[in-house]
Amino acid sequence: MVEFDFDNAPEAGLKGSLRKDFFWGYATAAPQIEGAWNVDGKGPSTWDVLAHTPGRVIDASTADDACRSYDFFREDVPLMKSYGVNAYRFSLSWSRIIPLGGKEDPVNEAGIKFYSDLIDELLEANITPFVTLFHWDVPQALEERYKSMLDPEQYVPDFVRYARMCFGRFGDRVKHWITYNEPGVYALAGYAGGAHAPNRSSDREKYEEGDTSTEPWIVGHTQLLSHAQVYHLYKADFAPTQHGTIGITLSGNWSEPYDASSPADQRAATRALEFEIAWFADPVHGTGDYPDAMRAQLGTRLPAFTAAEKKLVRGSSDFYGMNTYTAFFVRDKVPPGQPVPPEDHKGNLAWFDVNSVGVSRGAESDTEWLRTSPWGFAKLLRWVWDRYRVPIYVTENGTTARGEHVSAPPGGDVLNDVHRIEFFRAYVGEVAKAVQQGIDIRSYFGWTFLDNWEWAKGYTDRFGVTWVDFESEDKTRYPKRSAAFNREFFEHLIAH
């Protein structure tokens, strides 16, 4: 049944604008949906430890069960298929595959079988798997042994062995690989702000260990080096026979000057993009080194690449993986000429919801930082394309909507998620317009398939196109109207 008439809508001119082989679907992360946190041989991750530490999750919940996708994936794949998707981006839990994580540690065959069965189920449904190796959940054993990414000499070989195991076991069927999901968010939220695993920060009122002034930059550097090692491993040992692609997915929202006429605010907006995005994108897709703005503020606290490392990292991604959600207005936090505190890790910025002339960045969601800002998304697509000129895969984009925290079964108003529909209509529309303008965009993955355990926010943020009854034993799923909207919108946009 066709519910949305795009041929007689503003989007009529976008019909068939996306390539025939455009991938679209939804993205998820293992810790947020799988549950089964300690069954069938799985080892604990840093997020399992965080979730079981009182005071770390806003609603005191855990992901012990989450959406029970470990148990119900055979039901979830047909549901996904009914949504019309042709691709699904999911992550592997390192500690489900190698419970202790290390290069000499035993492999868990039950974990291997789970992901192998999921991949087979997806392929049977003609859904292309996009597999992320790391979505924030380090095996706890590696944190205890050597503080994981703070010790690159020990960490990199462990991550490379894990990746090799995944390529060897799944690469005959998986042709789209992502090494790291949002390495910048992982480094800053886990080692600067401290709210995410492994809960490290200079804030001694909240966290026992950590150094906000140095550790995020060490962890970011470790991720880049290990990513590049894995990229070249895949290209040398697996791609010749498996014929797949591999890359890294970076986070980044658009930053706009608070006062468009202010040169200082213009510089602040550029610096914001460099601290958030070019931190990883310049080494991988651009100059091969960190942006000058970062070096100017951070000095020797920002690690240096050797000549060999620059060569290793530069060009180590077949595509630009883009996770993005919103836009902000920015200006300097500390006035020029005054010292920036060493704990500052965002580029000396202040953020605003409204600019100097009273223009809002967009409609509010159910999440404080997230507003619907398709104008910023359009600018971000152009900025990334102009700066790096590599194919763009939009790997995460989505929103929460108010009024979805209700008892099951949810009523029609909850499942008729108009705010999310308007978000997707605007953002996906900008993808189509950008393609018409000559930008090479090859995928769009909405965040997310199911309402899930949203990290330290617990179950207080619902991002899914499927409403999940977390109080029921089987985590009953209820499709929202946005799922039907996206099915019909992409049918309209993808060339036939």
Q: What are the structure tokens assigned to 491, written together?
A: 């049918």
Q: Which of 95, 89, 118 minimizes the C-alpha distance to 398?
A: 89
Q: Mapped to the 3 state alphabet, what secondary structure does 455-469 carry?
A: HHHCCCCCCCCEEEC
C-alpha distances out from residue 217 to 111, 223, 309, 334, 385, Å: 32, 10, 16, 21, 26
- Unique residue bearing structure tokens 């909240």: 206
- Unique residue bearing structure tokens 């480094």: 187
Active site residue 153: no
Contact indicator for 282, 209 with CB cutoff of 8 Å: no
Contact indicator for 238, 260 with CB cutoff of 8 Å: no
Backbone φ, ψ for residue 178 (5° rounding)? -125, 130
Q: Which residues contact 358 (CB under 8 A, 6 or more apart)?
A: none
Strand-pair partners of 134: 180
- Unique residue bearing structure tokens 């930082």: 369
Q: Which of 11, 182, 404, 454 is catalytic?
A: 182
Q: Which of 491, 490, 372, 360 minimizes the C-alpha distance to 431?
A: 490
Q: What are the structure tokens assigned to 177, written together?
A: 């690989």
Q: How far apart are CA 252 and CA 241, in angstroms?
A: 34
Contact indicator for 242, 170 with CB cutoff of 8 Å: no
- Unique residue bearing structure tokens 């499942």: 415
- For residue 78, the Cα-to-chain-centroid distance in whole angstroms is 24
C-alpha distances out from residue 186 to 57, 180, 256, 451, Å: 17, 9, 24, 21
Q: Which residues contact 38 (CB under 8 A, 6 or more apart)?
A: 44, 48, 64
Contact indicator for 326, 373 with CB cutoff of 8 Å: yes
Active site residue 396: yes
| Strands (DSSP E) found in 103-262 | 128-134, 176-181, 245-251, 254-257
Q: Which residues contact 193 (CB under 8 A, 6 or more apart)?
A: 201, 212
Q: Which of 143, 396, 430, 454 is catalytic?
A: 396
Helix (H) or strand (E) holding 143: helix 140-146
Contact indicator for 249, 321 with CB cutoff of 8 Å: yes
Active-site positions? 182, 396
